[in-house]
Amino acid sequence: MTSLHGPYELSVGVPSVEVFRRLRTDAGLSDKDPEAVALALPNTWYGVVLRHEGAPIGMGRIIGDGGTAFQIVDMCVHPAHQGRGLGKRIMAALTEELERRAPATAYVSLIADGPARFLYEKFGFADTAGHDSIGMYRLMGGSPGFSGSRAEP
């Protein structure tokens, strides 16, 4: 465990399924199915958990193939602890591990919600639109604007 300041400690690893779901929802992120979380957590390439006086209050994970592609996911800090530089500390731990272990040609992505973009910019992340790219997504239960039929040219 790494001492941050005062009662905060950062440790390498991932939380339990229940704690993962609570951390996400407490921070305003969407909940995830417990079975899906149980499948996902062991496949974490690198993760950290932030604790306040021993209780988990934040986390961040890196997922990916270990060589060419990585994604930073599940970045969150409980609202009662935000504004103290804790998200910055989580992000620093994640990017330090990427710089230490990921190949120089690896592509690292993330999705920045709202003002989180300003935090990520401090770590060298840039808006893909400025590089003639756009971020896209699809939820497996359906996606916005997808009718299930194939468009013909």
- Distances from the Cα of 60 to the Cα of 7, 11, 57, 144, angstroms: 19, 11, 11, 27
Q: Kindly report the average pLDDT of the chain as a whole number.
A: 90
Distance CA 69, CA 87 (A): 23
Between 130 and 121, the more confident residue is 121
Cα distance between residue 134 and residue 152, in whole Å: 23
Indicate if the pLDDT at residue 149 is higher than 50: no
**Residue pLDDT, tens place only, 70-108:** 999 999 999 999 999 999 999 999 999 999 999 999 999
Q: Is the pLDDT of residue 42 over 50?
A: yes
Write down the pLDDT at residue 2.
Answer: 54
